[in-house]
Chain A
Amino acid sequence: MAEDGTSGAVHLLCLAASSGVPLFCRSSRGGAPSRHQLPFSVIGSLNGVHMFGQNLDVTLRSARTEDTAVVWKTFHDSVTLIVLSSEPGCSELRLERLLELVFGAMVLLVGLEELTRIRNVERLKKELRATYGLIDSLLGDAELAGDLTQCVDCIAPGDGPLLQEALAGFAEEVGSVFASLVVGGRVVVGTEGWWRLGSPEAVLLPWLVGTLPAQAARDYPVYLPHGSPTVPHRLLTLMLLPRLELCVLCGPQPPLSQLEPQVLERWWQPVLEPLRACLALAPRAIPAGFSLHPDILGLLFLHLEQKRAFFTVDLGGEEGPSPRTRRRLLRSFYVLVTATHFPPGQQGSRLPRECRVGSPKSLAHVSLFSSEAGSSEEKAEEQGCPTGVPRACYVVSGAAAKGPEGREDPGAGLRLVAIQAGPRRLLLLVSPQSPTHALRGLATRTLHALTPFL
C-alpha cells in the first residue's frame, strides 16, 4: 500500500448498502484493468465511514488527499458505490459521473429490481459479473468521452442522409423506432427514436456494443436505466462490416431470425461504400474532406441539448503528444471548464423532451425522457453572476512539448481553448506554435465550421 501501490489507479467498490457485503471490486491502473485490489480492511473502512455518517444523517460525499480522490454514492438505498482514484488530474466531477454511469451499467444488464431488492447476495454477485466488461471499459482509458460528458460520442459520416434513409427504412421494416449504426462505440446515424433515448442508456448502449466481443449477430437483453429500468428489452446487433454494427432496440418482436440476410442486403447493399467510408472515419469522427487548422491537435465538440459530441484527436500532426495524452488533456480540460467556468445552468433552455414511443406493443408503456441536466453537474461550483457570463476560456499548459532532440522547450506549452455558443461548446487542443491571442479566433471559426454537423 505504498505510494506507488495506487498511483494512477482507480478502484471501484460496489457494496450492498444495508449489509455492507461487497458485491464486486474492479480496479484499473494506467488505463488498463488491473488485478491489484484494495485490502479488505480498507474496503471495510471506506464503507464504514459512509455508513456511520448515514446513521447520523450526515452523508459523506467525497474526500481528497493531495493526489487521490474518493467519492461515495448510494443508489436507491440499496447499493453503495465507492470509487477511489489516484489518476493524475482525477476530479470529483469525473468520479461522480463515473459512479452514475456504473450504476446505470448495472441496471442496464441486471435490472433495477434485482438491485433494489437484494434477496440473494450470492446470486446477485454472479449476475453482476456480466457487467464487468462494460464497467472495466468505463474505468479504463477509452477513446470515447461519453462517460465524462454524458453526451453520445458520434461520427459525422460523409453520406449522412443516405445512411439515415437506409436506417429509417430498415427500422420501419423490422418494426422498431430505435435503431442506429455504431462503429467502435460511436454512433454514425440513429433514428429519431434512438436519439430520444434518455441518459444514461443513450451513452451506455453504444458503449456496450463497443465492448462486447465481436459477433455476427446478438440478441442481448437490456434494461433501460432511465426509460425502462424494470422491464427488459432486446438489443439486437448485426455486424454489417467488421466493427460496424447495426443496433436495434425492440420488444419481444421481431425474433432475431426474422432479420434475414435478404432484408439486410436490401437495405444496406446499396450503401456499402458509404458504410466502408464510415469505418475509415471512425477515429477521426469528422469527414476527411473537412479541413481543420493544422495547429489543432484534438477537439471535443458538444451539443449540450442534443447530448451528442464529437471527440477526436486523430487530426494529423504527427509531432506533439501521443493520442492518449491528447485525449487525457482534453478530458482534464473539459472537467476544468465544466466544474469551474461553465456552470450547467446557463446552457440555454433545456426542455425535457418527452416522447411517447409510437411502437404499438412492447414499448407502449415506455415513456422516455431525455434526462434533465446531469445531477452531478448541477452543483458545479460558482453560478455565473448576471454581469459575468463566461463565454470562453483558455489554458496554456506548461507541460512542454518535446522539442526535436527530446529537449523540452520551456516557452512552448500546449494550449487548450473552450468556447460556448448557445447549446454548443467546443474544446480544442492546440499546438504550442499557435499564438495565445489567436486562440479565440481559431476556436470561433472552428465552431462555425463544425456547426452543420451538430
Chain B
Amino acid sequence: MSGENTSRAWRERLHGQTPPLPAGKTEADVAVTARPSDAPASKEEEEAAESGESGDNRSRSPSYFSGSDNDDLEAEWSDSVQKYGELFYLELSDNEEESLLSEIPVVNHVRFSENEIIFDEDYLREGRKYEPRLKKFSKILKSRRLLPKRYKKKNSNGPVSILKHQPTQKMGIILQQRYKDVSVFVNPKNAMVLKAKEHLKLLEVLLGIIHQTKWKKRTEGTKLVVHGLLPGGPAMKSGQVLIGDILAAVNDVDVTSENIERVLSCIPGPMQQEILYHYPMSEASQKLKSVRGIFLTLCDMLENVAGTHVTSSSLSLNEKLVHVAYWKEDDKLLLIGLPAEEVPLPQLRSLIEDVAQTLKFMYGSLNSAFCEAENVARLDHFFNLFFQRAIQPEKLYSSTCTQSYDASFSLFTDTLPGVQWLTLPQETQMEIDMVLNDLEAADFAELSEDYYNMRRLYTILGCSLFFKGYLICSHLPKDDLIDITMYCRHYCLLPLVSEQRIGHLVIWREVFPRHHLQPASEPDAQVFQEPEGRYFLLIVGLKHYLLCVLLEAGGCASKAVGHPGPDCIYVDQVKATLLQLEGVEASLDERLASPSNPSLSCADWFLPSSRDKLESLTSSPLLTKLQYTSRAITSPSSRRRLFSDYSLKTRKLSPSRSNGGFENGVEGGEGGGSSPYTTLDPLPKQGAKEAQSPGGPQASSTLLKVTKKKATLPNPFHLGRQKKDLSEKEMELFEATKLTSGTENTLFHYVALETVQGIFITPTHEEVAQLNGSIHSQLIKNFHRCCLSIRAIFQQSLMYEKKKALNVEGNSESPHAASSLSPVKEHGVLFECSPENWTDQKKAPPVMAYWVVGRLFLKPKPQELYVCFHDSVTEIAIELAFKLSFGLAT
C-alpha cells in the first residue's frame, strides 16, 4: 500500500480525473462528485432492485420501526445507503445548487456508487494485486458500474459494453461470425503453479478452454476451436463461451493454435504483488514506485541498525526534492511522498500520522483499509482529497473573502490534535448542553426499551456539535472527538457547514474509535471494561450545524448483526435536535459578530501609510487611544488588589519567570498618565526603559484585562472541571471584555491548544476578516508557517519527555541529555516587515517588528500556545498573552 505522489503530474491527473468539475472547484463539488447524491433515474431503479435482491446485509434495516411516522424522511436518503450500510448523503443548499447548475449543469449527475462494486471472487482474491492492466480494467468496471456478477445480464442487454468503449483494455475472447467480447480474469501466478504440477496447457489453465489439436478438422486449419470447457474455469464462469466457438483474439492479438501458448505466456505475471495500493498514476509516482526497493530496504535495515522506526527519507527526483514519510504497521508499510517545496517535512510527518489515524478510524486497521479490494475506489477518493488538501488547500475553500486566510490557517491548524473551539456565553452553552443531553439520554418513545420490549439498537456514547465549523459543544472523550474531527476535516465537512452550502447531510458508517477499542491492559473488575461492541458514526448536517453522534452497538444495546444501515429513528432524532437548536442560532451569530476576546490588533495600524509622516509612528494614534481606554476601564479597587497581588508574587519569584513583565506593565500605566499606582515597587531597569516606549500603556491595558480574567479563573490549569460552575463570574467576564472592546493592543493573533480536551482556540475567521489589512493577512500567513516549525520543535520535546519517562524506569540517564536543545519549552522568533508596495523612493519603508512565540506547557497536561504580537511590548506581553489564552480556554 502506498500513496506516493509528487508535484505537477499529480495535479494533471486530478483535473483529468474529475472533468465535470468547474476549474475553481470547491470542496462541496468534490464530495458530490465522489459520492452519491442523486443519479439518473433509470439507474437508480435498477440499483434499488439490485439491493433488494442482496438485502441480506440490511437485516437491521429501519424496517424495524417502520411503523412510525418517518416514512417521508426515509425516502430522502435511504436510496443512497450502500453496501455495508454506509451512507454519505449530501444535499446542497438551494443557493449552492443553483450556482452549481448554472456553472455546469451535469455536476449533480456525476456519481459513483460504492455499493455497486461487487467483484468476482477470483478477482477479489488474487486478481487486483497482481496486474496493473487488470487493475485498470477493474477501475473501468467500477466507473461504469459494471458488475462482474451480473455481467452477463448487462451485456446481453447491450447498452453498456466497456469492451466496445475500451478495446485496448480488455482481456477479450472474440468469437467468429458474430464476434463476442468476453472478459475473463486470469491469474498467471496461479497458472504457473498448476501448470508445473499437472503439465497442462496455458489455454486450459488460464482460460479454462480445452482445445484438442488432434481433433482438428481440415477446414479449421489452425483455428482455435473450443472443444471443451474446464469446470469452474474462467471461460465457463463467464457463461458466454460455448463449445464450438472459435477463439479469435486475446487482448487484441489474433491467436491460432500455434501461437496461443506464447500469447498467453506474455500475460504479465505477479510482478507488483507487494504493492497493495498505489495512488495516483502520475509519472513521478510511478518513478517512486519503481524505487520502492529503497524504502523497503531502508525500513528494514535502519530499524536493525538504529533500533528505531524509519520516519522519513528525502530524495531528488527530476531535480526536485521529495520527502517520503513512512508509517509501519505490522508487516505493512505506508509511504507518502510529497514535494518538499509544497510540504515541509514536519508537516508531512503529521500528515501521514493523520492519514493512518483516519484510516484506522474508518476501517479498523490499515490492513483492512488497504487489503480489501472493494476499498480501492474509496481509497482513491480518500487520497484524492488528501493530496488536494496537502498541496492546494486553497482550492478546497470557497472563493469568498477569507480564502488566503483559510489556506494558511489550515496549513498549521490541521496538524494540531484538536478542533477549533468557540467560547460561548454561559447561558447559550447551557442551553446547548441541555439539548444535547436530551438526545444522549435517548429517552424518546421509540427508543425506550419498554415500548417494543426489545433492547435498543444503539447506545449514544456522546456527541459533538459544530456551528459554522467551530466546535461549540462536545460530550465526547478527547480521543473520540479528535477521531471524528479528523474524519470531518478529511472530508472537508467543516468549511462546508461554515458557509451553509448544505441543505441536508447524513453520514453513517461503522467506525473504529481508538478510545474504545484499546485492548484492555488487565482484566480488572474495578476498572470499567469497554464492551465488545461495534461503533457507528452518525453525522447529520443542517444548514450551519453539524452534529456528530457516536453510537455503540453491543454492550447494553443489542448486538449489531451484519452491516446495519442508518437507522431512521436515530437520524430523525438527531435532526430534531438540530432543529431544536435553531433557536440558539441567533445568539451564536451574535457571538461570532461580537468583538473578539481578547481584542486583536491589525498589523497595518502599526505602519503609517505611505502618505503619513514618519513621526506619526512615534506619537501614534494608538497611544492616545490607549490612554483613553485605560481611563475607561472601571473598578479601580479590584485592580488595586490584583496589582498588589502580582507585585508580591513577583518579589517572591525569580525574575526569570518573566513576572517582571507585570511590573513593567504597571509602570507603563503610569506613563500613560492615568494610573494611580505610584506606590508600587521600584522597577528593574529594564522595565523603566520599556516604560518610555509607546508600548508601555498598551501593555497596561492588556494587563488589566488579563488580571481580571485571572481573578475569575483562579487556576487556569484545571479549567475543564470548573467550566460548569462559573456561570455568574463568567458572564461578568464576558461583560468585561465587551467593555474593553475596540481597544487596540499589540496582540495580532494567537492559537492556544489544549490537549486534555482536544481543542484549540484561535480568533475566528470572522474576527480575522474584520481586521482586514494587507500586511495583516501576510503576517498571519507567516505566523502559521512559523508556528509549524515551532511546533515541530515542540514535538521533539514531547518525544524526548516520553523517552525520559521510559528511561527513568530503566534508571539510565542519557549522557547527552543536556546537550541537545530538547526539551524546548519556549521558542520565539522576531520578524520584521515593511509594506509591500513602498513607492516613496526617498525614504526607507517603515519597518514593523513582531514576535511569534510558542510555548509548551508539559505539566500537568501538554498545552501549547502560539502568539503573535508587536515588538514594542515584546518582552512584557508574552506572559500576559499566555494567561490571556488560558483565560479563554474555559
Enumerate chain A interface residues (CB-CB to B < 8 A): 1-3, 5-8, 30, 38, 42, 45-46, 48-49, 52-53, 56-68, 70, 84, 86-89, 92, 321, 324-325, 328-329, 332-333, 336, 340-341, 379, 381-382, 385-399, 411-413, 416, 419, 432-438, 440-441
Q: Is the CB of A399 within 8 A of B818?
A: yes
Once the chains are docked, how many angstroms separate the CA of A49 from the CA of B302?
Answer: 12
B778 to chain A, nearest CB (A): 4
Q: Is the CB of A63 within 8 A of B314?
A: yes
Q: Is the CB of B306 within 8 A of A68?
A: yes
Q: Is the CB of B875 within 8 A of A438?
A: yes
Once the chains are docked, how many angstroms separate the CA of A435 from the CA of B816?
Answer: 26
Q: Is the CB of B301 within 8 A of A45?
A: yes
Of B134-142, B650-658, B732-740, which binds chain A?
B650-658
Once the chains are docked, how many angstroms separate the CA of A398 from the CA of B798?
Answer: 11
B258 to chain A, nearest CB (A): 38
Q: Is the CB of B656 within 8 A of A432?
A: yes
A224 to chain B, nearest CB (A): 29
A142 to chain B, nearest CB (A): 14
A425 to chain B, nearest CB (A): 13
Most chain A CB inside 10 Å of its own CB: which residue of B656, B686, B815:
B656
| Chain A, Cβ-Cβ closest to B848 | A387
Q: Is the CB of B830 within 8 A of A440?
A: yes
Proximity string of chain B (310-325) to chain A, C-beta cutoff 8 Å, 1 when within and 0 when not: 1111111110010000
Once the chains are docked, how many angstroms separate the CA of A30 from the CA of B814?
Answer: 11
Q: Is the CB of A397 within 8 A of B779?
A: no
B609 to chain A, nearest CB (A): 15
Interface residues on B, range: 35 or more
Could you tell me which residues of chain B, from 852 to 890, have a CB within 8 Å of some CB in chain A? 858, 874-876, 878
Whether a CB of chain A sits under 8 angstroms from the CB of B290 is yes
Q: Is the CB of A391 within 8 A of B831?
A: yes
Of B187-195, B200-208, B221-229, B781-789, which binds chain A?
B781-789
Once the chains are docked, how many angstroms separate the CA of A289 from the CA of B119?
Answer: 84
Q: Is the CB of B821 within 8 A of A395?
A: yes
Q: Is the CB of A387 within 8 A of B778?
A: yes
Whether a CB of chain A sits under 8 angstroms from the CB of B819 is yes
Given A328-B816, A398-B823: A390 and B831 interface contact (C-beta under 8 Å): yes
Whether a CB of chain A sits under 8 angstroms from the CB of B400 is no
Q: Is the CB of B789 within 8 A of A388?
A: no
Once the chains are docked, how many angstroms separate the CA of A68 from the CA of B305?
Answer: 9
Q: Is the CB of B828 within 8 A of A393?
A: yes
Given A6-B305, A381-B789: A386 and B836 interface contact (C-beta under 8 Å): yes
Q: Is the CB of B313 within 8 A of A395?
A: no
Could you tell me which residues of chain B, from 822 to 836, have a CB within 8 Å of some CB in chain A? 822-834, 836
Q: Is the CB of A435 within 8 A of B660?
A: yes
Once the chains are docked, how many angstroms separate the CA of A314 from the CA of B851?
Answer: 31
Q: Give chain B residues whose Cβ lies under 8 Å from the Cβ of A61.
A: 313-316, 321
**Of A336, A385, A390, which one neighbours B821 at CB under 8 angstroms?**
A336
Of B96-104, B292-300, B568-576, which binds chain A?
B292-300
Once the chains are docked, how many angstroms separate the CA of A333 from the CA of B304?
Answer: 30
Whether a CB of chain A sits under 8 angstroms from the CB of B797 is yes
**Of A65, A70, A87, A438, which one neighbours B309 at CB under 8 angstroms?**
A65
Whether a CB of chain A sits under 8 angstroms from the CB of B793 is yes
Q: Is the CB of B308 within 8 A of A58?
A: no
Given A30-B815, A59-B316, A392-B829: A437 and B658 interface contact (C-beta under 8 Å): yes
| Chain B, Cβ-Cβ closest to A68 | B306
Whether a CB of chain A sits under 8 angstroms from the CB of B817 is yes
A398 to chain B, nearest CB (A): 4
Whether a CB of chain A sits under 8 angstroms from the CB of B661 is yes
**Of A2, A57, A68, which one neighbours B302 at CB under 8 angstroms?**
A68
Once the chains are docked, how many angstroms separate the CA of A82 from the CA of B817?
Answer: 26
Proximity string of chain B (780-823) to chain A, C-beta cutoff 8 Å, 1 when within and 0 when not: 01100110010001000101000000000000001111111111
B605 to chain A, nearest CB (A): 15
Once the chains are docked, how many angstroms separate the CA of A16 from the CA of B132?
Answer: 38
Q: Give chain A residues whose Cβ lies under 8 Å from the Cβ of B317.
A: 57-59
Whether a CB of chain A sits under 8 angstroms from the CB of B71 is no
| Chain B, Cβ-Cβ closest to A384 | B831
Once the chains are docked, how many angstroms separate the CA of A437 from the CA of B684?
Answer: 12
| Chain A, Cβ-Cβ closest to B859 | A410
Once the chains are docked, how many angstroms separate the CA of A5 from the CA of B829?
Answer: 38
Q: Give chain A residues whose Cβ lies under 8 Å from the Cβ of B775.
A: 387
Once the chains are docked, how many angstroms separate the CA of A388 from the CA of B789?
Answer: 14
Q: Give chain B residues whose Cβ lies under 8 Å from the Cβ of A64.
A: 310-313
Q: How many residue pairs bridge A and B at CB < 8 Å?
A: 245
Once the chains are docked, how many angstroms separate the CA of A399 from the CA of B849?
Answer: 29
Q: Is the CB of A58 within 8 A of B827?
A: no
**Of B656, B820, B832, which one neighbours A88 at CB under 8 angstroms?**
B820
Enumerate chain B interface residues (CB-CB to A < 8 A): 287-288, 290-291, 293-294, 297-298, 301-318, 321, 340, 344-345, 654-658, 660-661, 664, 686, 775, 778-779, 781-782, 785-786, 789, 793, 797, 799, 814-834, 836, 849, 858, 874-876, 878
Q: Is the CB of A388 within 8 A of B311?
A: no
Could you write out 17 A-B pairs with CB less than 8 Å apart? Answer: A3-B306, A5-B307, A45-B297, A53-B315, A65-B302, A65-B309, A68-B306, A84-B306, A325-B819, A329-B819, A336-B793, A336-B821, A340-B793, A386-B778, A394-B827, A398-B797, A435-B686
Q: Give chain A residues whose Cβ lies under 8 Å from the Cβ of B660.
A: 435, 437
Given A60-B315, A86-B306, A432-B656: A395 and B824 interface contact (C-beta under 8 Å): yes
| Chain B, Cβ-Cβ closest to A439 | B875
Q: Is the CB of A332 within 8 A of B831?
A: no
Q: Is the CB of A395 within 8 A of B658?
A: no
Q: Is the CB of A58 within 8 A of B821?
A: no
B667 to chain A, nearest CB (A): 13
Given A399-B817, A440-B874: A6 and B782 interface contact (C-beta under 8 Å): no
**Of A67, A387, A432, which one neighbours B306 at CB under 8 angstroms?**
A67
B543 to chain A, nearest CB (A): 37
| Chain B, Cβ-Cβ closest to A340 | B789
Q: Is the CB of A332 within 8 A of B821?
A: yes
Given A87-B816, A387-B779: A392 and B821 interface contact (C-beta under 8 Å): no
B819 to chain A, nearest CB (A): 4
| Extra inter-chain contacts (12) besides given A48-B297, A61-B313, A399-B818, CB under 8 Å | A63-B313, A86-B306, A88-B822, A89-B822, A321-B818, A329-B819, A385-B781, A388-B831, A397-B824, A399-B823, A438-B875, A440-B830
A101 to chain B, nearest CB (A): 20
Q: Give chain A residues whose Cβ lies under 8 Å from the Cβ of B304.
A: 1, 42
Q: Is the CB of A396 within 8 A of B875?
A: no
A42 to chain B, nearest CB (A): 6
**Of A62, A92, A398, A440, which one neighbours B858 at CB under 8 angstroms?**
A398
A389 to chain B, nearest CB (A): 5
Q: Is the CB of B822 within 8 A of A382?
A: no
**Of A46, A52, A398, which one neighbours B825 at CB under 8 angstroms?**
A398
Q: Is the CB of A412 within 8 A of B313?
A: no
**Of A5, A341, A434, which one neighbours B656 at CB under 8 angstroms?**
A434
| Chain A, Cβ-Cβ closest to B293 | A52
Q: Give chain A residues whose Cβ lies under 8 Å from the Cβ of B876.
A: 437
Given A61-B314, A392-B829: A46 and B306 interface contact (C-beta under 8 Å): no
Once the chains are docked, how many angstroms separate the CA of A328 from the CA of B869?
Answer: 31
B749 to chain A, nearest CB (A): 13
Most chain B CB inside 10 Å of its own CB: which residue of A336, A412, A437:
A437
Q: Is the CB of A65 within 8 A of B311?
A: yes
Once the chains are docked, how many angstroms separate the CA of A361 from the CA of B759?
Answer: 73
Q: Give chain B residues whose Cβ lies under 8 Å from the Cβ of A396.
A: 824-827
Q: Is the CB of A66 within 8 A of B308?
A: yes
Q: Is the CB of A413 within 8 A of B825?
A: yes
Q: Give chain A residues whose Cβ lies under 8 Å from the Cβ of B833.
A: 386-389
**Of B308, B316, B828, which one neighbours A394 at CB under 8 angstroms?**
B828
Most chain A CB inside 10 Å of its own CB: which residue of B820, B823, B827:
B820
Q: Is the CB of B789 within 8 A of A382?
A: yes
Q: Give chain B residues whose Cβ lies under 8 Å from the Cβ of A435.
A: 655-658, 660, 686, 875
Once the chains are docked, how many angstroms separate the CA of A421 from the CA of B867?
Answer: 24
**Of B313, B821, B834, B836, which one neighbours A399 at CB under 8 angstroms?**
B821
**Of A49, A324, A393, A412, which one neighbours B830 at CB under 8 angstroms?**
A393
